[in-house]
Amino acid sequence: MDLKESSMRLEPSPSRPPTHTLAESDLTRAFKCTANAVFVTDQSGKIVWVNDAFCRLSGYCEMDILGRSPAVLNSGQQSHLFYSDLWHTITSGKPWRGIVVDRRKDGMLYTVDEVITPLLGDDGNITHYIAIQHDITPRSQEHEQESYLAYHDVLTGLSNRAYFLSKQQQAMFEAKRNQRMVAVLFIDLDKFKMINDTLGHATGDALLVAVAERLRSAVRKNDVIARFGGDEFAILVADIHDINIIVALAKKVLDILSQQFLLGDHIVHTYASVGIATYPNDSEEPEVLLTQADQAMYRAKKAGGNRFELYAPAVSKMQ
């Protein structure tokens, strides 16, 4: 939880003395012992009370945090609009609930399910805000891991087919609006099966990881590289206006993959076959465009490999 510091610095009414401490009561003793992190601010947004669970979670002891704004927990993960909505809700006297990423004193991030409730005095005015935080960091990390595995290749860390196709569809939509081109390069390693069979799967896996690293070095920051399984890779190049840009990239890929790989005690030589299909010239359907690039790659492989081919509808129909 993070209250906008600039907004929280409101001077209390002169007719009402500012409240800096909470009187000891059964309620505060209960909150002191609860497993959830709890902190309380006064009406100006300064922290006036924390429990032990908050100190353990945030890394701040009472001496560190009392008198400071909750902005000290700001992780930078939430937008200004997020905090504006939070502040508008609680200053109107309504409770607020949300998922917040905070930053510990040691700099580590943690995620909480947080409820902030305004406390009203006898006159109906807000006197304090009480925040109760439930640590969901393990659950959040587990969700992030599941999300990552759903869209990435475990071995190389590259995108997988599902992620590639989603980005391809998005790129084609934007290209249509901006009258640009999108290209798909389908890449298949030549001699990979022989390397895998003769030198072992560990060396084969090391080669795939090394290939992924070289492909990363060849593309632009916003290009997408994916591994579809085995020794098949693909590159998505969006927002282009000239086919020569793609041809130059294909030549660069062939060059870097034809250079020897040093994998442990083995020096490995391989090369690649590359097929290229472009939107809107070849297809306006993501799956079809990918299939066309695959067909062009197969033609390059049949021609001896270590080369690229552009998709040609007439030639593909003859195969």
Task: Look up residue 265 and give its two tokens.
Answer: 């005690």
Give the number of residues written for the chain. 319
Tokens matching residue 83: 């905090």
Please state, in angstroms and rounded to a whole number, the distance separating the CA atoms of residues 170 and 177. 11
Known catalytic residue: 85? no
- CA dihedral (136, 142, 144, 145) in degrees, to 10, reads 160
For the record, the structure tokens of 63 come out as 């001496």
Ranges assigned E (strand) in the chain: 37-42, 47-50, 96-103, 109-120, 126-135, 181-190, 224-229, 232-240, 261-263, 266-268, 271-279, 307-310
Catalytic residue among 102, 135, 190, 231: 231
Residues 6+ apart with CB under 8 A from 242: 181
Q: Which residues are marked as active site?
A: 231
